[in-house]
Structure 1
Amino acid sequence: MSKKNIKDGHKVQLICPICSTKKEVTLPPEIIKKNSNLTTISIEKELVCTHQFQAYIDKNFKVRGYQKVDFELKSEKRSKKDPQKRVKRKEDNDLFKGLYMESNYLKYDAKGPIDFAYLINESDREEKRIEGSKIPYGAQQERQIKNKHQKLLSLQKKINSKEEKKFFQDGASYYQELLKTRPRSQKNNLEHEKREKKSKSRTSQLEEKKKDKNIIHLIEKEVKRLYNKEQLEEIANFGYFSK
């Protein structure tokens, strides 16, 4: 083998012992320099196929055998911190600076405002810090919520007062219009009743006239049935019936 091949590496064809997939890979020059006898190479997944296996290569870069990997152990890194393990922080140590104890006498002198929410809530200890110049987190949050609540209440009162005022104004205007239109509506109702009475009287009169005509017509038919033509002419001369 030439020096060029040693420097650039050597290409070897690998075959997966599980699925028989073939692929040509290049061995790095470090392997060629350090290993002169049989070399064991671990082939990771996705390099040749989806399987992981081992290849045994001699000094002439010929594959002498394969070994499949049945199980792979991985190191499990704990992403979350152990809740049982408690690390002392600077803020915790600062609490003991203002503590004085002599025999049965105990005194605590706070140098500045204490963030009680930080001390109580374990999850907020990494994000919040005690600062003497700032208002404590718990009191500040409570004040912000109180201000927002007061703003909402004042806004709600304004809206309610506007709606009530508009409601009473609309009611008053409607009542005034009702008072204006009520006499006119009563007058119209009276006129309508009079018109209905007149129309009823006219219809009744027409019905009575029609009834009289029907009676006269029936009498004429009966007379014509009982008397002959000459007799009817004599009766007609007296003016009782029309021809």
Structure 2
Amino acid sequence: MTSVTIIGCGWFGFPLAESLIKQGYFVKANKRQQQDLEPLSQVGIDAYQLDLASECSINSAKKLLDSDMLIINIPPGLRRGETSYLANLEALSSTIGDKQYQRVIFVSTTGVYPNEDKVMTEDDAQPYSEVSQILLQAESIFARMKHSCIVRFAGLIGPKRHPGRFFAGKTDVSGGNLAVNLVHLDDCIAAVSLILHSPKVANVYNLCAPEHPTKAIFYSHAAEHLGEKVPEFNQQISPSKIIDGNLICQQLGFSYRHPNPIKMLDAC
């Protein structure tokens, strides 16, 4: 039985682990607090306590990291003002040492692309801001490992992440012309699963639904979907980037289950 370790077992990592178990993988995963391990164990995950900010905890992580494959899914938390993201990843990398995996997947974000009027492919990442510099540094830590693949998620929606209240009832909202770049949880799970068992993959894949309604159209539909008041957008025009998530389709035969962000709302 192929073993997979998931570092970061939250909103994405937990349902990913459940899916991989159903596919026949032996799954190990972690939570930072000991009291949070029981829900993982209940669904068949081999659960470990690991807090990357704790040297004591890291020193006991060898068994958790002893797997055939590794998925690293640690939210940066930069918008919340967290400052330990890179240090935590470096600590994890140091603990892994020279161990080699059949596949290493690092979950990143399309936040590495600048706000420019163009279609962004995997080659267009730039350190255009302090945040993007941190995100690209994080990617580089694991990109240098053998058999690694960086997966950049667009905006995430799905169960417990309905976007209908983001702008509900607000007025004079800017950026109504912006293209929406979103991906559903189901597609994230399916894509990572595909990358795990594909013998040859690219260094980086974007994951973003292929349809891109404007921000005004999408968030108006999202508010209506929840019975909330539709937001009012101003006429300000901003540069609008579109994330191209087609490379994984071309190379691995991936097909998005939720290509239309508006229809995604029914699966939130």
Global fold match (TM > 0.5): no
* TM-score, reference length from structure 2: 0.13
* TM-score, reference length from structure 1: 0.14
**Structure with greater helix share of residues:** 1
Whose relative contact order is higher, 1 or 2, with alpha carbons under 8 Å and at least 6 apart? 2
